[in-house]
Structure 1
């Protein structure tokens, strides 16, 4: 666990706030992979439309309508996907209808135009069916909808087959390919969106876990402080009250009670110091493990290298530094990767944390964190080095193996 000094509590609070945003950024690549896969599959369907139209000797005007309509259909689906990315599970399918009405209208118009130009029901129905798959449907409704959509596309395919001459082998192959991809597209779309929903839910859970861990730590510290201080304050209040009553009748007894109250104050102060030292006395191996867990909970790929003899390192000096630098990486780092190490370097201990730089590499206006690290290290005869690169930020701390940090505190 970590000590909860005011500066560290502020940093942890900022971390808990920034965590969900960083996690959201960390899954952006997955989201765009999902969109790209759907759009590639959908564009393949448009190309198959062209193949089928070419095999039926369609006019240039019909080919132009199908081609331009297919591109407009893909663009409208991208707009619906962007709307879907920020979906609310509790909202209905038509929530935020201003953002979906135009893409739905475009898809419906493309379906009517391409269907009339090609004379095919399956081409006319698919654009609107696909657009409906991209709405924010509840899970049960979405499953029933995709089953109905696949049945509808299957029926449209067989109706078109009965009205079209597919005696030619190439034409028949194009038709079956059109039917297969048209029927599969709604199912693939719903499956991809379901996978995205699962991933987004996991990331929200991971962010909640990070916030919950910080909250539980604060609650535990607050409970210990309350129990300790509450007990001593109650005793001190009773002793002072008794001394007040005895002041006129028995001044010596009143003076004894005042002395006891002073002793209780000293006990409370010592108990508070002991409580603080108990949190600071966490082994450095556990401190670094906690730091790695916190970074990973925020969506950062983190790893660590710890010397087997790290229990002999000055924990009173390096413990707060590990917590401060972890907070610094969470607040100001790029959030993609971080590496921590604690190794023995001759007669010194070497602690280093390196992480990627954020897109905005301008140093923070308040350098209190780094200044505090330098000051803390200088008190024990060590040194701290800060390296700012274009894509990497690192802090290297060198501390003598034997320190008197405990005495200086």
Structure 2
């Protein structure tokens, strides 16, 4: 009988680098779309305000078309902002001169033909808000831009430059909301990237701590035995010229210590390898999920009784193989038991052209898995299709008695 684990959706904040990009990329497109939508709505509102006054249709067309061109130019600022955490603070003026020239040109034309100070300054102020400011500086820039636009909106309302039919509070409301809404979208993107990097750092730290723990145990074990062996050999060296029997006794004791050190190392390695198979599967599932894959696992209810010594390395190696060579979006883990054997299968989709080995082995790692499975009198089957890669392993249940 099998227990089914429901598919696990990919984490929404996967790392934006090579490691964990999918979730962060989706968040980025959401952020970019939100900012552009806010700007397009603002241009639409201004076109409506201008249309409600005595201005001609040509003026409305200039506001609408020029505004859309300005919105498109801010994509350069947004794409530059995407890498702000990697690049650090600072403004690459040479690379960003084009969107600022467009912002100034659109503001000058739109402001002059409508007589609105707010419309003249708004494109430039919005472009400044989108720059890669340090965290504290960015807050002050947003506050300054908001106050400036509100003040200009008040100035426009006192001069009635947009006509009496337009409510005086409408431009001011848009001015007050624009910088804040823009920065809130960018802040959401920053939070997602920061959380994703923290998760990746936590994974690296956990691996480092595990390696340190193993190194400490090996050092303590070998250091003790080597110190004892060194003393025994030194004593044998002193005794052999005067008392050969006593010296030989120390040599025999040193040989026993060598055997004890070897056995202790073997026991230590066995202790680290003897992870329950259910934990191995859970670790594999979590690792694939952290990499942004949608994972489905079907695990036999008696998985704790499966031969961990034979299947554990298979699970680790095939999981690594998926991360290294697959590049897809989905993975499926299946562990089942028949009356005579245990079967484990991992299937993942692959990006067309992904390197899974010239023979479909996915690299030299599976060669070691094949040898281990053959030693356990089992079978390993590797299947490669245009968009799918599968590794299936079967080991007899009699392995449990020796595993």
TM over 0.5: yes
Q: Which residue of 2 aligns with 1:316?
A: 309
Residue 143, structure 1, aligned to residue 136, structure 2: no
Question: Aligned match of 2:244 in 248, 251, 263?
Answer: 251
Q: Distance in 1 between matches of 2:163 and 2:104?
A: 28
Aligned 1:104-143 pairs, distance under 5 A: 104-143=100-139
List per-residue Cα deviations over 1:277-307 (Å, max 9, x = no partner).
1111111011111222322333334343322
Aligned 1:24-103 pairs, distance under 5 A: 24-59=21-56, 62-88=59-85, 91-94=88-91, 96-103=92-99
Q: Which residue of 2 aligns with 1:194?
A: 187
Q: Which residue of 1 aligns with 2:344?
A: 351
> Offset of 1:347 from its aligned partner?
1.9
Task: Say which SS state the counterpart of residue 341 (structure 1) adopts.
Answer: strand
List per-residue Cα deviations over 1:200-224 (Å, max 9, x = no partner).
0001001101111211111111111
Question: Aligned match of 1:291 in 284, 287, 303?
Answer: 284
Contiguous gaps of at least 5 residues in structure 2: 1-14
Q: Distance in 2 between matches of 1:185 and 1:148?
A: 12
Aligned length: 385
TM-score (norm 1): 0.86
Aligned 1:159-174 pairs, distance under 5 A: 159-162=155-158, 163-164=160-161, 166-168=163-165, 171-172=166-167
Q: Distance in 2 between matches of 1:373 and 1:394?
A: 14
Decide whether the 8 Å contact of 1:65 with 1:117 is kept in 2.
no
Aligned 1:240-279 pairs, distance under 5 A: 240-279=233-272
> Offset of 1:327 from its aligned partner?
1.0
> Offset of 1:249 from its aligned partner?
0.8
Q: Distance in 1 between matches of 2:40 and 2:217?
A: 62
Contiguous gaps of at least 5 residues in structure 1: 1-17
Decide whether the 8 Å contact of 2:16 with 2:22 is kept in 1.
no
Decide whether the 8 Å contact of 2:115 with 2:162 is kept in 1.
no
Q: CA RMSD in A?
A: 2.5
Q: Distance in 2 between matches of 1:356 and 1:249?
A: 73
TM superposition outliers: structure 1 runs of 4+ over 4 Å: 175-179, 404-407
Farther-moved stretch of structure 1 (196-205 vs 213-222): 213-222
Farther-moved stretch of structure 1 (356-365 vs 270-279): 356-365
Task: Say which SS state the counterpart of residue 58 (structure 1) adopts.
Answer: coil
Question: Aligned match of 1:23 in 20, 24, 33?
Answer: 20
Q: Distance in 1 between matches of 2:16 and 2:172?
A: 45
Q: 1:45 to 1:390 in 2, by over 3 A?
A: farther
Residue 233, structure 1, aligned to residue 226, structure 2: yes
Q: Distance in 2 between matches of 1:77 and 1:22?
A: 28
